[in-house]
Chain A
Amino acid sequence: MLFNSYGYIFLFLPLVLVLYFVLSKRRFTVASKVWLLFASLLFYGWWNPVYLPLIAGSIIFNFIVGKLILRQGEEGRSSYSRSLLVIGVVGNLALLGYFKYADFFISNINAVGHVKLPLLHIILPLGISFFTFTQIAFLVDTAKGKVKEYSALNYSLFVTFFPHLLAGPIIHHAEMMPQFDRLRNKVADYRNVASGICLFFIGLFKKLVIADTFAVWANNGFDTLNQLTVIEAWVVSLSYTLQLYYDFSGYTDMALGSSLMFNIKLPINFNTPYRSLDIQEFWRRWHITLSRFMRDYVYIPLGGNRVPEWHILLNLMITFFVVGLWHGAGWTFVLWGCMHGATLLIHRLWKRSGFSMPSWIAWFLTFNFINVGWVFFRAKTFGDALKVLRGMVGIDAALLPKNIWISLRHANSFLPGLDDLFGRLGNNSRAIVCMFVIFLPLSILFKNSNEIAERFRPTVIQLILFVLVAWLSVLFLGTYSEFLYFRF
């Protein structure tokens, strides 16, 4: 089930919420959790029930391995529990590898070995990267002795809780499991419900009104046109940069908002990332829970900062290689990850050298690097990426479209019309200008949705504002779209 569907907004969420608090109020604590678990599985199975056994199997496997590790206690933590941990992690990675990377692996063998092994064409189950990583973290922490006793119900709910199930945030058991048991959370908190609703509709608005509008221009540029002028190429790349931010942060807002209505606080995932002045700051603000996972479960186990400098740099590169590969089974993703790794490496050396630069130059360089990086992230092939990049530097085509000269010859004004500049990207060139003028600064200079939700006040102005946001977002529901991060 999608957050941006009529069924979720008007039926699923209200029904689950009301019944959850009715059961909790009557002190049917276990029943309320069972209800939430059932609802979460329904939410997951709505897309394709075939994958329900997959997630159930994954939960049972990890639950049993975790229990076996826990049973070893302090004494057995050295060898047996380590073996169990290896089995658990390998099992999870094997599952992820099969569903996500099998065809990538086969096509690379075909390319290198000049053979023709048939591709498996496996459909990626929704959320597999997210629930697999959540459970790997759980097993690692169990082996480290950071996990206390837990029940099957709490564990299943922790993994499947529907707001975070499909595209994160990647949650940590320590911040989630206690929330399901906290007595105060069993009573409906109208403040949480109100700010949860506001956050949800901000997210829906970001997704449907903003991201999906930018998506049209990004898709036309990346997938449809064969050659781009300089202006078009920049519009296309910036459209995708904004689309991705508003899409994914919008999804996260909806997840956080839905969860908050149940008095469960999920970790924030975005903190105005395009405001960053360097690449390190960017990764502290972008997909925060993934950065946290990579730091705790990849970078630090590799040695983190406690190793010689060359080793730190290598660790950084390896971590970002994994980040790239996590996002997708393709070399464009790997290149994107390595670009970020290499830039972090340069940033580290730059910081050590003691040089500095004015903030605005630092922001400009960082933002443009991120923008160029997203070109590889978005492109289906290197050819598509190069097409956009060549357009951005004006290698392939002129600065302006060909038909602008025709227009100029016939026009009274020397100023080209907007349609001449952007007409090939979308039907409404004015909309392109308006959207950039409004939403580019909004993504950088203003309060983000989490800050807005935190400072929620039950005032009339906020009521009018949020009703309009909600109404407009619901009207946009009819347009078909899926979240970008579902494919990761």
Chain B
Amino acid sequence: MATQRGSSHRSCKKWLKGFLLVFLFLLLVTAAFNFETDCSGIFRPNKGLKGVALNLINGKMVAGYMGRNDERELERLIVENYPGQRDTIALGSSRTMVLRKRFIRGGNVDFFNNSVSGAIIEDYIAIVGLYRRKGVLPKTVIIGIDPWIFNKNNRLGSEFWRVLESYYREMVAEFPKGARGRTLVASITEPRSDVASSYEQLINLEYTLQNWDYLQKGKKLYVTDTVNVDDIIREPDGSVDFPYNLRFGTMAQIGLRGLPPIIYRDFEALSGTELFEDLLHYLKTHGVAVVLLLPPLHPDVYQACLNDPKYSITIKVEAYLRQLARDNGFTMVGSFDPGKYGFRAEDFADEIHGHESVMKRLFETYR
């Protein structure tokens, strides 16, 4: 009996060793693959980004997938390497990316679209911080606003802004002290180390699949002469042409899935308004004209915002922004309500992204 137990003990010990060895080996291989491929430039900056920035500054178009960290790093390189001062810039998320130079005053303006995917208020501040540090604040800042940037539980993109964290900190240091400012950072970012969260990507499925996809398609960032490419294209004005499914897709093809829970999660009250107002106040006091841009939502989604208490906060966000614009004399363009401009379902690529025609029409009367 004792011998039997002893042999079972030994075989289990051997099995355990084997398990740990193979398991750790697999993890190591996965980590090495992700570290080496690193399509989003999480572990080391994408060496090609400076080239992308220079190409864009020199009026060329660049196509190809870019990770969210790289997007922010690219903004830094563009601002640092651009020789002059911009008249107008746009800040915002993917919903604002289709705002193009030619839509604004017939293109007779030195415009650059600094929108980044999954932007939150910290991103806005950090990007303005890029211009501030170089001493070239633009004359006008168009701020594309998504309702969920005021949701403290919005988990979309809540960490990417840290790529530009030093610029953000410098900006916040100039905000009024006391009750205002810095509140959102404390409330939405978890007390975790940047480095740790980055290195978690080494053994993350989503990142592994992204890297695999990246390798499979052999996609690198490349210069293109035409927008007729089924890829993400960044134009010289910083605006973006999405891949064909988003660029030309209609709701019948994509299917309405409602508002993504990840951004409307527990969105019951407005957060971060003080930080946002601090930014606007900073711009105003430095002589920068502010334009608040509200890209519309899909008509069915907006209907849900009207009818469903879970999303009704959207209406409150717009009311808050309109009041803010009135009180401070900011220009207001657009509305979350697509009906105000007569937009229909066909004008949208999905629940929250309008086609470029939407942006074009919004800016027809902008002077």
Contact = CB atoms under 8 A, between A and B. Distances in A.
Interface in B27-53: 27, 30
Nearest to B29: A471
B203 A475 contact: yes
Contacts of B258: 220, 224-226, 424
B221 interface: no
A470 B252 CA distance: 40
Interface string A214-225: 000001100111
Interface in B301-338: 304, 307-308, 310
B208 interface: yes
Contact of A471 (B18, B23, B259, B260): B23
Given A463-B19, A467-B22, A477 B261 contact: no
A193 to B, nearest CB: 6
A475 B307 CA distance: 39
A79 interface: no
Interface in B1-20: 8-9, 11-16, 18-19
Nearest to A459: B15
A406 interface: yes
B201 interface: yes
A474 B203 contact: yes
B257 A479 contact: no
Contact of B255 (A226, A419, A464, A480): A419
A6 B203 CA distance: 10
A423 interface: yes
A474 B15 contact: no
A220 B205 CA distance: 22
Contacts of A480: 155
A403 interface: yes
B259 A224 contact: yes
A194 B12 contact: yes
A458 B256 contact: no
Interface string A139-154: 0000000000000000
Contacts of A194: 12, 15-16, 19
A144 B352 CA distance: 63
Task: Classify chain A's interface size.
Answer: 35 or more
A411 B221 CA distance: 37
A310 interface: no
Contacts of A459: 15
Contacts of B189: none
B9 to A, nearest CB: 6
B12 A467 contact: no
Contacts of B204: 475, 477-478
A280 to B, nearest CB: 36
Contacts, number: 95
A423 B205 contact: no
A197 interface: yes
Most central of B9, B30, B203 by chain A CB within 10 Å = B203
Contact of A193 (B11, B16, B23): B16
A403 B255 CA distance: 8
A425 interface: yes
Interface in B263-277: none
Contacts of A311: none
B200 interface: yes
A476 interface: yes
Contact of A190 (B16, B22, B23): B16
Given A226-B304, A403-B252, A475-B204, A463 B15 contact: yes
B131 interface: no
A224 B257 CA distance: 8
Contacts of B260: 224
A466 interface: yes
Nearest to B261: A219
A478 B201 contact: yes
A426 interface: yes
Interface string A424-439: 1111000000000000
A197 B206 contact: no
A385 B307 CA distance: 17
Contacts of B252: 403, 406-407
B257 A426 contact: yes
Contacts of B308: 226
A19 B22 CA distance: 24
Contacts of B207: 478
A353 to B, nearest CB: 46
A224 B19 contact: no
Interface string A418-454: 0110011111000000000000000000000000000
A223 to B, nearest CB: 6
B229 interface: no
B22 A458 contact: no
A122 to B, nearest CB: 16
A402 B174 CA distance: 54
B215 interface: no
A423 B261 contact: no
Interface string A177-206: 000000000000111011001000000000
A307 B44 CA distance: 73
A426 B23 CA distance: 32
Contacts of B14: 458
A467 B23 contact: yes
B173 interface: no
A223 B266 CA distance: 11
A471 B16 contact: no
Contacts of A226: 258, 304, 307-308
B261 A197 contact: no
A27 B259 CA distance: 59
Contact of A223 (B22, B200, B203, B261): B261
A14 to B, nearest CB: 10
Contact of B15 (A224, A458, A477): A458
A424 B261 contact: no
B23 A424 contact: no
B16 A467 contact: no
A386 to B, nearest CB: 14
Nearest to B199: A6
B185 interface: no
A466 to B, nearest CB: 6
Nearest to B206: A478
B109 interface: no
A470 B20 CA distance: 10
B23 A458 contact: no
Interface in B203-245: 203-208
Contact of A478 (B18, B19, B200): B200
Interface in B174-207: 200-201, 203-207
Interface of B: 8-9, 11-16, 18-19, 22-23, 26-27, 30, 155, 200-201, 203-208, 252, 255-261, 304, 307-308, 310
In the A-B complex, the 9 residue pairs with the closest CB atoms = A458-B15, A423-B255, A224-B258, A478-B204, A475-B205, A190-B12, A190-B13, A191-B12, A471-B26
Given A471-B30, A474-B203, 12 more contacts: A190-B9, A224-B261, A226-B307, A403-B255, A406-B252, A425-B257, A474-B27, A476-B205, A478-B200, A478-B201, A479-B205, A480-B155
Interface of A: 6, 189-191, 193-194, 197, 219-220, 223-226, 403, 406-407, 419-420, 423-427, 458-459, 462-464, 466-467, 470-472, 474-480
30 contacts: A190-B13, A190-B16, A193-B16, A194-B12, A194-B15, A197-B19, A224-B258, A224-B261, A225-B257, A226-B258, A226-B304, A406-B252, A407-B252, A419-B255, A423-B255, A458-B14, A458-B15, A463-B15, A463-B18, A463-B19, A463-B22, A467-B26, A470-B19, A470-B23, A475-B203, A475-B208, A477-B203, A478-B200, A478-B207, A479-B206
